[in-house]
Chain A
């Protein structure tokens, strides 16, 4: 499973993940409270500078991830053109780009293991109360392992469908797919129990 962390090593990769997440929370709240166009333009320019700092490869990868927003930007653009409120439209569009861009930036510069460490830290109060968080950590690992395994099983089912029919494999393969998956889950549960349980 490939994580969305950027392979381009930046200085921010070494900053504490918890601090980056807290800063992101504050920044997003400020963005949604601020209404001034100048402010949003300045923040957007600063964001672009942050993306450009580690180099061209990082900048391109970051901008590619913002591309999914274009339908929304197009709607905002058209809407505010028709209602003749361009300034308000620009604020909304810039806020959208900056908020998503900042969040992506944190994801791109934080390793999966650091994120899991933050979750572990956030769950500390639960452990103090005597609850076990082992199940949570185990289930994170299980999903990371299950997802490619399930995708491979689905692919095999689709192939065997195509070997027998000229039509596309539709929703009909979802039932055998779900059955295979459920049986897998039973085997995993047995294996967990056999190894001493949670």
Chain B
């Protein structure tokens, strides 16, 4: 119990700390933050249930007014802004990522975690995110998708990093990778 609470709180803090890393600008001028890498790692390392709890805890702290989102944003305003879909998508992304990592044991962990992070952190997250964008801005889904498509290459990079990190963590601290224990 104590260990679960500590790990869930730690990963919530990890998402916040990754948001503090300065933005990296990709070759063609698109800024990416490491924050969604934290969400992917919640799923691949903690598994579906605990990973989702960690992301929900992070969102709760954002909602009560802590500036934990990338760029020092936070408070209730982010839940009515156009990017709300991505915030709602965070816990779902962590859940799907965790579920795939837990269930698919036949392939090497690097590959499984990488693909799980891509499915959860890109397919699911962008699905919900684009729906939210369309709703708040009053646009159709394909129009909203165009607005965020430039960020997908950066997230594919992050999914690959999440895969490698997870298998490295599984070698260094096997007991901490709860998705596989």
Measured CB to CB, the residues of A under 8 A from B are: 1-5, 21, 24, 28, 65, 68-69, 72, 75-76, 79, 88, 92, 96, 99-104, 106-108, 110, 112, 115-116, 119, 135, 138-140, 142-144, 146-147, 149-151, 154, 171, 174-175, 178-179, 181-186, 188-190, 192-193, 197-198
Contact = CB atoms under 8 A, between A and B. Distances in A.
A189 B64 contact: no
Contact of B5 (A75, A102, A135, A150): A135
Contact of A5 (B37, B65, B81): B65
B6 A189 contact: yes
A148 to B, nearest CB: 9
Nearest to B69: A68
A108 B65 CA distance: 8
Contact of A139 (B57, B73, B74, B165): B57
Contacts of B161: 171, 174
B61 A143 contact: yes
Given A103-B80, A184-B10, A193-B2, A112 B172 contact: no
B20 A151 contact: yes
A178 B41 contact: yes
Contacts of A154: 17, 20-21
Interface of B: 1-3, 5-10, 12-14, 16-17, 20-21, 34, 37, 41, 57-58, 60-61, 64-68, 71, 73-82, 136-139, 147, 161, 165, 168-169, 172-173, 176
Contact of A119 (B1, B64, B66, B75): B64
A75 B147 contact: yes
Contacts of B68: 147
Contact of B13 (A76, A101, A150, A190): A150
Contacts of B6: 142, 185-186, 188-189, 192
B169 A179 contact: yes
Contacts of A76: 137
A197 B65 contact: no
B165 A192 contact: no
Interface centre among B16, B37, B65 (most CB of A within 10 A): B65
B76 A104 contact: yes
A28 B14 contact: no
A178 B5 contact: no
A1 B66 CA distance: 8
A179 B172 contact: yes
